[in-house]
């Protein structure tokens, strides 16, 4: 199924993978100290939620260039989330082993988003 013609974002593998990432982040942040509830917990959850949200919004856009822009927002949120997890490791809230699987999932989502974005930008150039 071609991304540019999709009407149902829930059929996108990258959207489904990013929803798994959201669940993983919510489970992970449940273990955080209570003083981080309005700090890193909130930031990480918001970053994670932003990824599939922007993918979903991209599908509603008319032009391929607009679709690509919303995928760029998702990519920004992925890098933001990665940074926040690394901060958690640096300040001792998490160990690297706590985030290893999440980082693998995050990297796969990032690669998929990059590929979709390239496809859309190429399509926009050719139309």
Task: Kindly report the pTM of this predicted structure.
Answer: 0.92
Domain ranges of the chain: 12-126
CA 78 to CA 86: how far, in whole Å?
12
Architecture of domain 12-126: Up-down Bundle (1.20)
- Range 116-119, long-range pairs (CB < 8 A, 24+ positions): 116/3, 116/14, 116/71, 117/68, 117/71, 117/72, 117/75, 119/3, 119/4
Give the percent of the chain with pLDDT over 90. 86
The pLDDT tens digits for 34-60 are 999 999 999 999 999 999 999 999 999
Q: Is residue 1 classed as helix, strand or coil in its secondary structure? A: coil
User: Could you tell me which of 105, 88, 76 has the C-alpha nearest to residue 17?
Assistant: 105
């Amino acid at each position: 199924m071609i991304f540019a013609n999709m009407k149902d974002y829930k059929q996108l593998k990258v959207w489904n993978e990013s929803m798994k990432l959201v669940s993983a982040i919510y489970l992970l942040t449940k273990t955080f100290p209570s003083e981080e509830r309005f700090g890193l917990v909130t930031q990480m959850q918001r970053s994670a939620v932003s990824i599939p949200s922007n993918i979903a919004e991209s599908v509603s856009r008319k032009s391929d260039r607009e679709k690509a822009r919303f995928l760029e927002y998702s990519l920004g949120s992925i890098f933001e989330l990665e940074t926040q997890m690394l901060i958690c490791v640096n300040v001792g809230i998490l160990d690297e082993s706590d985030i290893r699987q999440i980082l693998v999932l995050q990297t796969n989502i990032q690669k998929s988003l990059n590929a979709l974005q390239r496809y859309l930008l190429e399509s926009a150039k050719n139309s």
